[in-house]
A and B are shown apart, each in its own frame.
Chain A
Amino acid sequence: MKELFPKHPYRTHGGAPVPHCKNTAHAETRVMPPPAVVTLPMTQHIGAPCTPVVKKGDHVYVGTKVADSTAYVSAPIHASVSGTVKEIAKVMMPGGQMVDAVVIESDGLMERDPAIQPPAEIKTKQQLAQAARDSGLVGLGGAGFPAHAKLNVPEDKNIDTLIVNVAECEPYITSDHREALENGKNVLTGIYKIKEILGVHRVLIAIEDNKPDAIEALRKIADDPQMDPNDEVRVLPLHARYPQGAEKVLVQACTGRKVPAGGLPADVGCLVMNIASVSFFASYMKTGMPLTLKRVTVDGSAVTNPQNVIVPIGTKIAELMEFCGGYKEEPKKIIMGGPMMGVAVTSDELPILKQNNGILAFGEREAHLMEPTDCIRCGRCVAACPMHLVPTKLEKYAERKDVAMLKQLDIMTCMECGCCSYSCPANRRIVQAIRLGKFYVKKENAKK
């Protein structure tokens, strides 16, 4: 049965009128020259950390595998420059945990690994998943979920819709927007391969309507009978309301289906992939070059020249900033990712990771933290929650460490989109408390 293509997005609940701040949307992406040193931490994805497969003194090329894992949910890591492994060092990740990292000193030649060649033609689902794993691809939209684990859809799940996520609802971030404008044809190639292998006949390119130029560009390509001979790929403009791009919200907006609590989009016949992931996969099939480069939006009040930059993974934030003209004012807060869900980092010495799509540096004024005041029960967090939770109660019970109540209030359904904290007139740090609450729940569950 052929699924119909929706003309308008389905209704979704909640969200917040977050300002868009897409300052870098109209500037062409620039390519950053390779840095002298890259640092490649062993966790650049959700799942088990990798272990280095190179040792100090080894010579590596661009694309040489430097770390891998035997675990299923994990993805190998590849050298982004050619040169010598300087050391295996401990680095502190944005979350504060210490992990091993392969540090490579560049020889400046950027020689690609001679062993690299395009993968054999992909014909089965297993080959597709294997190719995704070999490429080191993780969800490039920010979550970093290993792509092969997503593409290896269980046999009992029938996928009828592929959703390409170009919603990009986070403020400031425009890397997917630029990908759509600069690499649209590549995206279609990737889509066609994936949908052919998975047997999907409905592909929705979901994009917020605050990017009219990208919608037009993608529509042109999707309407081209040469690119889309079966007319199975359509662009679906979404309302530009945060968090349209969050997976569950996106599935609902595109298909009207609700992913069950604790479930995956595959449970309702959907597969969601970020546009950059799809586009990268297309180039991988062409060249066989694994994931070593990443388009990153550099913006924020402290940045001299905000723009999108294609940067070797493992480059230090400080060097990326230098490339963007340095700091305009003293940075007080640096965020990996967008301002709603990104992580504030402790230093600009940290490397760019695979799943980074933005680096934002803010000055004093934007970084200023407001003191929380008492909850006035206005209910704005409840109205804003896309997951129909009661954030103010979650906050209260998290503070009391009341795990039973937290479970009853479905705390684990929270995706930490930040709409509640954003909307709270009392400046309560609701998401922070909920994270703590989730930790208590996980701890208690582990005890059993």
Chain B
Amino acid sequence: MNKLIVSSSPHFHAKDTTQTLMLDVIIALTPAMIASVILFGFRAAVIILTTVAACILSEYVSRRVMKRPQTVGDLSCVVTGVLLAMNLPVSISPIIAAFGGVIAIVVVKQMFGGIGQNFVNPALTARIILMNSFPAKMTAWTAPMNHSFADATTTATPLGMLAEGSADAMPSYLDMLLGNTGGCLGETCALALLIGGIYLVARRVISPVIPVTYLATAAVLSLLLGRDPLFDLLSGGLMIGAIFMATDYTTSPINFGARIVYAIGCGVLTILIRQFGSLPEGVSYSIVLMNILVPLIERAVKPRAFGKAKAGKAGAAK
């Protein structure tokens, strides 16, 4: 008889792989990508392709240079690329967009060891670096549904209007739900993001714990501070942040309790920055800050092993 394969149990395996999960995230981002092209024109597609290409190339080259197994195939770099594009204004120069992709992959992700090792969200961190390097270009908002780039009308984001106390008419909730406002490529259309979020939860790619807790915390705090909770939920990057950024596997906690604490932290910081900060918007900073706290949260809030006595007494005695 021929040689048999001997391996440790279990001998069964679920069909999901890192690649299929990342593919699902890309599928979930598709409505937002389509919305961005409808709202901001084909230039949005150019930006998305630029950042994705930059991310793929950065990932490939980094792995080659570091002589590590190639990980382009797991598609996580594509997800980073799409997410980065979703967080850029449509008027951004493709060169800056590509630069952002390189920072996200090379500096934030690969220098710390690649997938699963980075301690902050690559796309968000790249966005923050671009924000600080090119503040004017990163906040040049183009009015939606106005596809002539030669003389594109500039506008403000709803949060920007709020912060400046602008006399202009605020967009309606319907406009904000459909994304008919100024803002980054993928953040304006809350509806498309929600569809993606529901897909991710239905496919069990993410658990609804983080997005639901994040959004609920933000809404409650907004109400307590006398703001308009619905406006807060639909404006800025909150929706994309809660659904796609805060749920990033690597930079969010792995157990239920820690996820709740983390998501509450994200929600509180977001609204506090919006209310008291000098910036109109704080989703990126909130999430990145909470990313950094993840190891501490996981140490403080961990699951208790089955049948183990409550911590403190039994643990200390040993």
**Which A residues form the contact surface with B (CB < 8 A)?**
13, 16-19, 171, 248, 258-263, 318, 330-335, 339-348, 362, 366-367, 369-370, 373-379, 382-383, 385-390, 392, 407, 409-410, 413, 416, 418, 421-427, 429, 431-432, 435
Residue of B with least CB distance to A348 = B1
Query: Are the CB atoms of B115 and A347 closer together than 8 Å?
Result: no
Residue of A with least CB distance to B16 = A425
**Which B residues form the contact surface with A (CB < 8 A)?**
1-2, 4-14, 16-18, 20-21, 71, 74, 76, 114-117, 207, 249-250, 252-256, 259, 302-309, 318
CB neighbours (8 Å) of B9 from chain A are 335, 339-344, 416, 418, 431
Q: Looking at the complex, which one of B1, B253, B259, B307 makes contact with A248 (CB distance below 8 Å)?
A: B307
Closest 6 CB pairs of A and B: A418-B10, A379-B254, A432-B8, A410-B305, A387-B306, A388-B303
Query: Are the CB atoms of A389 and B307 closer together than 8 Å?
Result: no
Known: A344-B11, A388-B303. A379 touches B255 (CB 8 A): yes
CB neighbours (8 Å) of B14 from chain A are 16-17, 422-425
Task: Tell me which of B7, B76, B303 has the highest count of chain A C-beta atoms within 10 A of its own C-beta.
Answer: B303
Query: Are the CB atoms of B307 and A435 closer together than 8 Å?
Result: no
CB neighbours (8 Å) of A341 from chain B are 9-10
Residue of A with least CB distance to B17 = A425
CB neighbours (8 Å) of A388 from chain B are 303-306
In the complex, how many angstroms separate the beta carbon of B301 from the nearest chain A beta carbon?
12
Query: Are the CB atoms of A258 and B306 closer together than 8 Å?
Result: yes
Query: Are the CB atoms of A377 and B71 closer together than 8 Å?
Result: no
Cα A422 to Cα B253 in complex, Å, equals 20
Query: Are the CB atoms of A344 and B12 closer together than 8 Å?
Result: no
Known: A387-B305, A422-B12, A427-B13. A373 touches B5 (CB 8 A): no
Known: A387-B305, A410-B308, A413-B308. A369 touches B5 (CB 8 A): yes
Cα A369 to Cα B13 in complex, Å, equals 10
CB neighbours (8 Å) of A435 from chain B are 8
Cα A248 to Cα B307 in complex, Å, equals 9
Query: Are the CB atoms of A332 and B305 closer together than 8 Å?
Result: no
Query: Are the CB atoms of B11 and A425 closer together than 8 Å?
Result: no
Cα A386 to Cα B5 in complex, Å, equals 28
Known: A386-B306, A425-B14. 20 other contacts (CB 8 A): A260-B308, A341-B9, A345-B6, A346-B6, A348-B1, A369-B7, A373-B18, A377-B250, A378-B21, A379-B253, A379-B255, A382-B303, A387-B306, A388-B304, A388-B305, A388-B306, A413-B308, A425-B16, A425-B17, A426-B116
CB neighbours (8 Å) of B249 from chain A are 376-379
Residue of B with least CB distance to A421 = B10
Query: Are the CB atoms of A18 and B307 closer together than 8 Å?
Result: no
Query: Are the CB atoms of B116 and A374 closer together than 8 Å?
Result: yes
CB neighbours (8 Å) of A407 from chain B are 318
Residue of A with least CB distance to B2 = A330
Known: A261-B308, A373-B74, A386-B306. A344 touches B13 (CB 8 A): no
Residue of B with least CB distance to A259 = B307
Cα A171 to Cα B10 in complex, Å, equals 11
Cα A330 to Cα B1 in complex, Å, equals 9
Query: Are the CB atoms of A382 and B255 closer together than 8 Å?
Result: yes
In the complex, how many angstroms separate the beta carbon of B295 from the nearest chain A beta carbon?
11
Query: Are the CB atoms of A260 and B309 closer together than 8 Å?
Result: yes
In the complex, how many angstroms separate the beta carbon of A416 from the nearest chain B beta carbon?
7
CB neighbours (8 Å) of A370 from chain B are 13, 17
A to B CB contacts below 8 Å, 12 in the list? A259-B306, A259-B307, A339-B9, A339-B11, A348-B4, A374-B114, A376-B76, A379-B249, A388-B306, A409-B305, A425-B20, A427-B17
Known: A335-B11, A425-B20. A376 touches B306 (CB 8 A): no
In the complex, how many angstroms separate the beta carbon of A391 from the nearest chain B beta carbon?
10
Residue of B with least CB distance to A366 = B11
CB neighbours (8 Å) of B308 from chain A are 260-261, 410, 413
CB neighbours (8 Å) of B254 from chain A are 377-379, 382, 390, 392
In the complex, how many angstroms separate the beta carbon of B73 from the nearest chain A beta carbon?
9
Query: Are the CB atoms of B303 and A389 closer together than 8 Å?
Result: yes
Query: Are the CB atoms of B306 and A390 closer together than 8 Å?
Result: no
CB neighbours (8 Å) of A379 from chain B are 207, 249, 253-255, 259
Task: Tell me which of B74, B252, B306, B309 has the highest count of chain A C-beta atoms within 10 A of its own C-beta.
Answer: B306
Cα A6 to Cα B114 in complex, Å, equals 50
CB neighbours (8 Å) of A347 from chain B are 1, 4
Cα A425 to Cα B252 in complex, Å, equals 17
CB neighbours (8 Å) of A318 from chain B are 1
CB neighbours (8 Å) of A410 from chain B are 305, 308
In the complex, how many angstroms separate the beta carbon of B23 from the nearest chain A beta carbon?
11
CB neighbours (8 Å) of B207 from chain A are 379, 383
Query: Are the CB atoms of A340 and B11 closer together than 8 Å?
Result: yes
Residue of A with least CB distance to B251 = A377
In the complex, how many angstroms separate the beta carbon of A168 from the nearest chain B beta carbon?
15
Query: Are the CB atoms of A334 and B4 closer together than 8 Å?
Result: yes
In the complex, how many angstroms separate the beta carbon of B74 from the nearest chain A beta carbon?
7
Query: Are the CB atoms of B306 and A431 closer together than 8 Å?
Result: no
Query: Are the CB atoms of A431 and B10 closer together than 8 Å?
Result: yes
Cα A63 to Cα B116 in complex, Å, equals 58
Cα A416 to Cα B253 in complex, Å, equals 24
Query: Are the CB atoms of A425 and B18 closer together than 8 Å?
Result: yes
Residue of B with least CB distance to A330 = B2
Query: Are the CB atoms of B306 and A345 closer together than 8 Å?
Result: no
Residue of A with least CB distance to B303 = A388
Cα A335 to Cα B117 in complex, Å, equals 36
Task: Tell me which of B1, B7, B8, B16 has the highest count of chain A C-beta atoms within 10 A of its own C-beta.
Answer: B8
Known: A382-B254, A413-B308, A431-B10. A390 touches B4 (CB 8 A): no
Cα A16 to Cα B15 in complex, Å, equals 12
Cα A366 to Cα B255 in complex, Å, equals 31
Query: Are the CB atoms of B303 and A367 closer together than 8 Å?
Result: no
Cα A413 to Cα B254 in complex, Å, equals 19
Q: Looking at the complex, which one of A259, A409, A421, A426 makes contact with B18 (CB distance below 8 Å)?
A: A426
